[in-house]
């Protein structure tokens, strides 16, 4: 009898405002490539190739004809993604300023009782008692966070 494993969704949150397109997508692509087939990474950057030449992505692109990058569009899709995901994966490594959007995603994930893994180094600007409390896992590198996500979302141990 063939065992059917359901697909799990891993939302990859982290700073976007103020960083380049590559900085906001490269690590997400890395995580996605390391996941087993039953875990699918969801990126808030999907469908946003029109930002590929941006060296410092703006908070929103209101009125630029890109509804996915309007304030309402960003909020609507990111909140939906957090609601439907099975786990929130947050990368704060090297953050130079607080990512308010990502902190909102953490709050949504906690409210929806989603497990949260946060990647950040000691002394990261995002270290805060409430954030540290709601994160089920805090690790210092992407590979360790990937291992945690796989262990949490996999139905069996191999």
pLDDT by residue, tens only, the chain of 158 residues = 666 678 999 999 999 999 999 999 999 999 999 999 999 999 999 999 999 999 999 998 887 889 999 999 999 999 999 999 999 999 999 999 999 999 999 999 999 999 999 999 999 999 999 999 999 999 999 999 999 999 999 987 66
Residue 80 maps to a domain: yes
Residue 103 maps to a domain: yes
Q: What is the CATH classification number for the domain harbouring 147? A: 3.40.50.450
CB 112 within 8 A of CB 134: no
- What is the span of the domain harbouring residue 59? 8-153
Q: 94: Cβ–Cβ under 8 A, 6 or more apart, which residues?
A: 121
Residue 74 maps to a domain: yes
Residue 1 maps to a domain: no
Residue 19 maps to a domain: yes
DSSP code, position 136: S
Q: 30: Cβ–Cβ under 8 A, 6 or more apart, which residues?
A: 142
* pLDDT tens-digit readout, 47-78: 999 999 999 999 988 878 899 999 999 999 99
Domain count, the chain: 1
> Global pTM?
0.94
Residue 122 maps to a domain: yes
Residue 2 maps to a domain: no
Residue 3 maps to a domain: no
CB 127 within 8 A of CB 135: no
Reference 145, options 155, 131, 135; nearest CA is 135
């Amino acid at each position: 009898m063939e065992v059917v494993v359901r697909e799990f969704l891993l939302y990859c949150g982290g700073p976007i405002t103020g960083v380049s397109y590559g900085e906001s997508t490269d690590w997400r692509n890395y995580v996605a490539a390391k996941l087993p087939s039953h875990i699918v990474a969801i990126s808030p950057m999907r469908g946003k190739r029109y930002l590929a030449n941006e060296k410092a992505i703006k908070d929103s692109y209101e009125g630029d004809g890109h509804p996915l990058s309007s304030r309402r569009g960003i909020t609507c899709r990111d909140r939906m993604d957090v609601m439907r995901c099975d786990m929130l994966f947050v990368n704060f490594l090297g953050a130079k300023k607080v990512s308010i959007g990502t902190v909102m995603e953490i709050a949504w994930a906690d409210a929806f009782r989603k497990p949260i893994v946060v990647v950040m180094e000691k002394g990261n600007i995002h270290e805060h008692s409430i954030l540290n409390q709601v994160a089920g896992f805090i690790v210092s590198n992407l590979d360790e966070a990937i291992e945690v996500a796989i262990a949490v979302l996999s139905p069996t141990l191999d």
